[in-house]
Amino acid sequence: MKKILVIGATGQIGSELTMELRDRYGNGNVVAGYIQGAEPKGELKESGPSALADVTDGEGIANVVKEYDIDTIYNLAALLSVVAEGKPRLAWKIGIDGLWNILEVARENHCAVFTPSSIGSFGLTTPHVMTPQDTIQRPSTIYGVTKVTTELLSDYYYLKYGVDTRAVRFPGIISYVTPPGGGTTDYAVDIFYYAVRGEKFICPIKQGTLMDMIYMPDALNAAITLMEADSTKLVHRNAFNLASMSFAPETIYAAIKKRLPDFQMEYQVDPLKQHIAESWPDCMDDSCARQEWGWMPKYDLDAMTDDMLEKLKLKLNR
């Protein structure tokens, strides 16, 4: 029986992943780990156990792991790319010192660990079209530096200590539940809120800038399927390219406008976001994920757009 700790359970991915894991493994078997000031609320709080689990406090994490007899940790603590550029030391402290704490706890308590990497682990010198699984990773952001280090440190703990580390390189994640905070791909979430509220959207990313994106249900499914996968079939571990859709701003604008003909968008490019976006892949080759553990997304741009608009209209009472 799996006993799971989700670190960052009130964040963008964590809030939905915790509920999905509770559905699959039973409410009592999934602990929502949070930091002070970001306590779980509502259904997340009511539906199962929660515990203070700050990655910068290794002893605290060890206590939670022992108390709940945890065997699997989903470590989602991170600063997104744009925020991290303003606080590089903090990004490292959370992303890498924090990861080290978790890997040590995992080594001592025999836990499997999932720590996501990202399209941000690539840089300008990476081949941008059908970016291979194994390729150049020289990112120019601190977010990317922490993600490459995450991949390497996770591999190191697997090779040296046998800790069962696994990960994916997430594209930009689109969801209607918890908004992302301070990422380069956030525009692809924000655009839906403006569209549903009937407001004009000011796009911070230049026309023609392609990035990989993924709808949250596919992202959750990827993380859980990988952690369930037969270990003997895995050639790679940290971390698998994931792809399901790749688009530029004008393409998602057109997809929304097809459904909401009055929707308007104009461009006001944010130089930092644009610089970061241009350093990331246009589209990744995810054939290793497909071959090694059966990755198969359900949502393309049209299916995601239909679902996002339907769910956001309900959420925003429109």
Number of residues that bind ligand SER (CB under 6 A): 11
Angle of helix 301-315 relative to helix 187-197, nearest 10 degrees, comes to 50
Q: Minimum CB separation from ligand SER for residue 120, in Å?
A: 5
Q: Which of residues 44-63 bind ligand SER (CB under 6 A)?
A: none
**172 makes contact with ligand SER (CB under 6 A):** yes
CA distances from 256 to 251, 308, 317 (A): 9, 10, 18
**205 makes contact with ligand SER (CB under 6 A):** no
The active-site residue, picked from 143, 157, 176, 299, is 143
**209 makes contact with ligand SER (CB under 6 A):** no
**120 makes contact with ligand SER (CB under 6 A):** yes
Closest CA to 144 of 188, 197, 78, 73: 78
Kindly indicate which of the ranges 181-189, 190-198, 260-268, 305-313 contains the residues binding ligand SER, using the contact rule CB under 6 A: 181-189
Which lies closer to ligand SER via its Cβ, residue 84 or residue 102?
84
**146 makes contact with ligand SER (CB under 6 A):** no
**165 makes contact with ligand SER (CB under 6 A):** no
Of residues 72, 154, 184, 305, which one binds ligand SER by CB under 6 A? Answer: 184
294 dihedral zone (left: phi>0; alpha: psi -120 to 50; beta): left
Tell me whether residue 143 is one of the annotated catalytic residues: yes
| Placement of tokens 């840089």 in the chain | 123
**175 makes contact with ligand SER (CB under 6 A):** no
Which lies closer to ligand SER via its Cβ, residue 70 or residue 210?
210
Q: Which residues, 6+ apart, have CB-to-CB distance to 45 below 8 Å?
A: 32, 39
**118 makes contact with ligand SER (CB under 6 A):** yes
Of residues 64, 77, 119, 189, which one binds ligand SER by CB under 6 A? Answer: 119
C-beta pairs of 258-266 under 8 Å, 24+ apart in sequence: 259/305, 259/306, 259/309, 260/195, 260/196, 260/309, 262/198, 263/194, 263/195, 263/201, 264/200, 264/201, 265/191, 265/200, 265/201, 265/202, 265/203, 266/200, 266/201, 266/202, 266/203
Kindly list the catalytic residues: 143
- Binding residues for ligand SER (CB under 6 A): 80-81, 118-120, 143, 170, 172, 183-185
